[in-house]
Amino acid sequence: MQGISVTSGTSTTVYRAEKAISPADGSVSWVVIDDSTYELHREASAYLDSLRARHLSWNTERVYAGRSALYLTSCAAHGVDWSRPTLGQLARFMRRLVQEPLPSRRRDGGGQQRFRSEETANAVMTTVCELLRFGARYGWVPAEVAAQLTQQKYLAYLPPGYNAGEDGQFRTVRARELKFVVVNDGIDWLTFEEVEQLLAVTDHARDRFLVALLWCTALRIGEALGLRREDMHLLSNSRSLGCRVEGPHVHVRRRLNENGALAKSREPRSVPVTEELVALYTEYVYEREQVAEAVNGDMVFVNLFRGVLGRGMTYSTAKDLFDRLARKAELTARPHMLRHGAATAWIRAGQPRDVVQKLLGHLSSSSMVPYIHASEADKRAAVENVAARHGGVA
């Protein structure tokens, strides 16, 4: 449950992102409500419904619901019609995002003040712009409001993999008008040695298997949490299961799951796994069978120690697990960092880019660019190798 409150004068207006559970099939979705009347914000909730229609993940929907509630609450508190903001009003909202302190995590309200980063503010503004453009398509937001959100921009320098067209006709694009200029420090990733540190501090077979699986296969966390037992083809020959893929492997399929996990790629794929990972899975199955509620469940990763036992692990449960492991290992560690680390290790080992692209489940080769990480050792080796060829003079 997420709520954002802003006080203006003597009144407080709050919109809140809430989970909605279908009485028909128990499926979970997100809506935005007025916290005082519990009425749905019709337009924001329709926008969230459109995310489900695009098959975005439950976790993405949750985040966008919170950002939408934040924007609507701020508009109500500062006397702004959410559907008709001026560019100046949006700019002031964006500045408040980084200037106003976040609520304290401590019950007594103490502790050091925390603030949103400019990068986070940009992410919030992305959602706000999407909400307004969605509203413009249905006549809730004037077309001129949506038009002011972007401006024409000529791409003097093309992003990697971008096709500008034979005559450069695609160099002129629509770019967002409001955003902070943020220096990209690169995407964090984990080395093999750091993954070993994580594995060393795990207390349970399930957690060891999850960390090792993410490193071995480079699955996204949503893909891992969405695995079902039928996806685990861990025999040397799976023809008895109706599968012609040789060797132990896992199948990644996009499907709706009760825990909200969703594979990002629409194309199913199989990913080979090692014998060591198969052994870790065997240890996990033995641990799982000691919990009666988890014995017959179809999901691979389930709650064994807290929460509703036997139910599929959620994104928040996995995040809490990695936060605990990171603190114990004294590392910064998030699930996606293992994906980047695995892809980097494959590329450094000389694997063809198209093979790595298939393993990652990317449709476009340009999607590979963020996964190419150069360490300080890599850069030094490049300089020294060239210098050695020229007698020590680069």
- pLDDT per residue over 345-369, tens digit each? 998 888 888 899 899 987 766 666 6
Q: Is the pLDDT of residue 378 over 70?
A: no
What are the tens digits of pLDDT across the range 275-324? 999 999 999 999 999 999 999 999 999 999 988 999 999 999 999 999 99
Pairing of β 269-272 and β 172-176: unpaired
Specify the pLDDT at position 350. 86
Q: Does 233 or 109 have the greater pLDDT score?
A: 233
Phi, psi of 11, rounded to the nearest 5 degrees: -115, 155
| Alpha-carbon distances of 222 from 120, 218, 301, 317, rounded to whole Å | 21, 11, 11, 12
Which of 4-8, 49-53, 205-209 has the lowest average pLDDT? 4-8
* Residue carrying structure tokens 């489940």: 361
Q: Report the percent of the chain where pLDDT is more than 70.
A: 83
Cα 88–118–325 angle (5° rounding)?
A: 150
Specify the pLDDT at position 259. 87
Domain boundaries, the chain: 2-176, 192-371
**Separation of alpha carbons 335 and 190, rounded Å:** 10
Q: Is the pLDDT of residue 67 over 50?
A: yes
Q: Is the pLDDT of residue 176 over 80?
A: no
Q: DSSP character for 153?
A: E
Cα 136–137–138 angle (5° rounding)?
A: 90
Phi-psi region of 392 (alpha: psi -120 to 50; beta: other; left: phi over 0): left
What are the tens digits of pLDDT across the range 11-47? 567 999 998 888 877 777 899 999 999 999 999 999 9
Q: DSSP character for 213?
A: H
Specify the pLDDT at position 159. 64
Specify the pLDDT at position 25. 72
* Residue carrying structure tokens 């340009």: 366
Mean pLDDT of the chain: 86
Specify the pLDDT at position 232. 96
Specify the pLDDT at position 283. 97
Pairing of β 28-34 and β 11-21: antiparallel
Q: Is the pLDDT of residue 9 over 50?
A: no
Q: Report the percent of the chain where pLDDT is more than 90.
A: 59
Instruction: Please determine, looking at this structure, whether the domain spanning 192-371 carries the CATH number 3.40.710.10.
Output: no
Specify the pLDDT at position 3. 42
Q: Is the pLDDT of residue 189 over 80?
A: yes
Mean of pLDDT values over 155-167: 67
Could you tell me which of 282, 275, 222 has the C-alpha nearest to residue 253?
A: 222
10 pLDDT band, cuts 50/70/90, is: very low
178 pLDDT band, cuts 50/70/90, is: confident
Phi-psi region of 247 (alpha: psi -120 to 50; beta: other; left: phi over 0): left
Specify the pLDDT at position 364. 67
